[in-house]
Structure 1
Amino acid sequence: MTSRRQFIQIVPVAGAALLASHAAQAQLVNEKDPQAVALGYVADATKADKAKYKNYAAGQLCNNCALYQGKASDAEAGCPLFAGKKVAGKGWCSAYAKKA
């Protein structure tokens, strides 16, 4: 589980990297990427490790997370936690925050 302190340390770095790589074509995040592993990211939310991530709940998807940088109908979009890469709309990670 990502602590609040880790999350606060990750976000500015991820944002700066996103700005630096904005010109590059974004690829989908690889689930084996170190950042993805640290956050428990999976491209299919139904495959989230429910034993390890107790905060996971059915219906939590990247496309309804406050960090998702696309429309809810987009199959994939950017996320500030994965600078320069896209996440699957049906994905999930431990930094999930319900969109207001």
Structure 2
Amino acid sequence: MKTSRRHFLLMSVCVSAGSSLVLSRAAFAAGANTLSEADPQAQALGYKEDASKVDKAKFPQYAAGQTCGTCSLFQGKATDAFGGCTLFGDKQVAARGWCSSYTNM
């Protein structure tokens, strides 16, 4: 089958766009948009990427077993390492993290 120049260019553009989409999704999944503990809103809510590092004297409402992954505000799946949170907009929070707005209703 003979391929025309037009067909070749069209296929090249489609393959290139598909590759870009895969790369951008990989970058997002790798933490390109994760919430930093240094973020002012994260600091105001006592966000920690690892719930075991929460200052229990500063946040006495923290209880063992509370993590972002079990919070009702977490928008990821139970198996996700990171997911959205209604408090932090487009930032991704660690499923094993915690903040003072933890709620499990």
TM-score (norm 1): 0.72
Matched with 2:89 is 83
Off by >6 Å, runs of 4+ in structure 1: none
Distance in 2 (alpha carbons) for counterparts of 1:57 and 1:27: 28
Q: How many residues align?
A: 75
Distance in 2 (alpha carbons) for counterparts of 1:80 and 1:56: 19
TM-score (norm 2): 0.68
Kindly indicate which of the two structures has a greater share of residues assigned to helix.
2
Measured after TM superposition, the shift of residue 65 of structure 1 is 0.2
Distance in 1 (alpha carbons) for counterparts of 2:82 and 2:70: 12
Larger Rg: 2
Matched with 1:52 is 58
What is the aligned-residue RMSD (CA, Å)?
1.1
Percent identical pairs in the alignment equals: 57
Distance in 2 (alpha carbons) for counterparts of 1:27 and 1:64: 21
Determine which structure has greater relative contact order: mean sequence separation of CA pairs < 8 Å that are 6+ residues apart, divided by chain length.
1
Matched with 1:68 is 74
Unaligned runs of 5+ in 1: 1-24
